[in-house]
Amino acid sequence: MTGEYAEAVVSRRPRTWFWTADDGKLYICLRYGTRVLELAKGKSAIEVGEKPQLVPVIEALKQAVAAGEVDQQLTTAGAEVSSKFLKRLGSTK
């Protein structure tokens, strides 16, 4: 080994955040990293309906995020991720 580092570009498929259910309707979820956000108690997906409605729903979600309507869910998810990281960091000592 020479101790040199080489940067490699590797393509990865992004995680899907919308899908078609068995009933034929589209659903969408919001993520914080790899964690799916719970938007309401026990609910983590939004029913979109038909494919043409997907873009308007995404636009509405963007507006909700910009207005701070998802801040509590993001704060909770961030705290959970941080606590798990700190637990792992503490267990490696």
Report the alpha-carbon angle 20-43-49, nearest 5.
30
Q: What is the pTM of this model?
A: 0.66
pLDDT tens readout for residues 56-82: 999 999 999 999 998 988 888 888 878
pLDDT at res. 1: 62
pLDDT tens readout for residues 2-42: 788 888 888 888 778 889 999 999 999 988 888 888 888 89
Strand extents, DSSP E, 1-93: 18-20, 26-28, 31-32, 35-36, 46-49
33: left (phi over 0), alpha (psi -120 to 50) or beta: left
Residue type, 73: Q
